[in-house]
Amino acid sequence: MRVVLGVGALMVAILALTACGGGGSEQEQAKAQEQTEARPLPEDPKALDPGEYHSTEFQPSFSFRVGKGWRTSSYFPQLSDRLGITRGEEGDAPTLVFRNLQEVFEYAKNDTLEVEKAPEDMVGWLRQHPYLETEKPGSATVGGVKGVRFDYTVSGDAPYDKINLFRYTDGTEGVPGTDRSTGRSSWRT
């Protein structure tokens, strides 16, 4: 009988300890849950605390995790078709831009720009662009999602002041970017 009572008392003590303090304070539990849930990406340009964020305007919505040193971009504020984050201070810092383009500029034979609906095959469209020289696409995976990656350069005979590739929903236009260290540009889709 004593053994049964001893085991019963031990079980009650374990349950009481677990209920009272095993999970930490309410503040600690709330902080732990906040760290595991994605926070909305701030709209204003600012440094991001390490952790997980989710898009608030970009469509389709997605979440991503950043470490120290990332910030939202003033050059690429979040829209339904664009979201940019920068590693380090803006200017020469690398910028990661997510795009879901809706409109592109098509060059007519007389070099005038005409806005058209973005094609399903953006890689093919960019590879056929008259002022871009592209390399063969290779496979890429970001966050478990498969896609393609390729480098491009703006051709030497291109009218640099007229090269617009696409238009965002806020009316701003996208132009080819260049990595200042290599002189090459990269596109991932």
Question: Cis peptide leading into 60, omega within 30 of 0?
Answer: yes
pLDDT in tens, 13-56: 333 333 444 455 666 555 445 445 899 999 889 999 999 999 99
Q: What percent of the chain has pLDDT over 70?
A: 70
* CA–CA dist 127, 143 (Å, integer): 25
Is the pLDDT at 185 greater than 70? The verdict is: no
Q: What confidence score (pLDDT) does residue 109 get?
A: 59
**Structural domain spans, the chain:** 25-98, 101-188
Radius of gyration of the chain (CA): 25
179 or 4, which is more confident? 179
Q: Return d(Cα 168, Cα 149) in angstroms, integer.
A: 22
| pTM to 2 decimal places | 0.68
Do the Cβ atoms of 118 and 174 come closer than 8 Å?
no
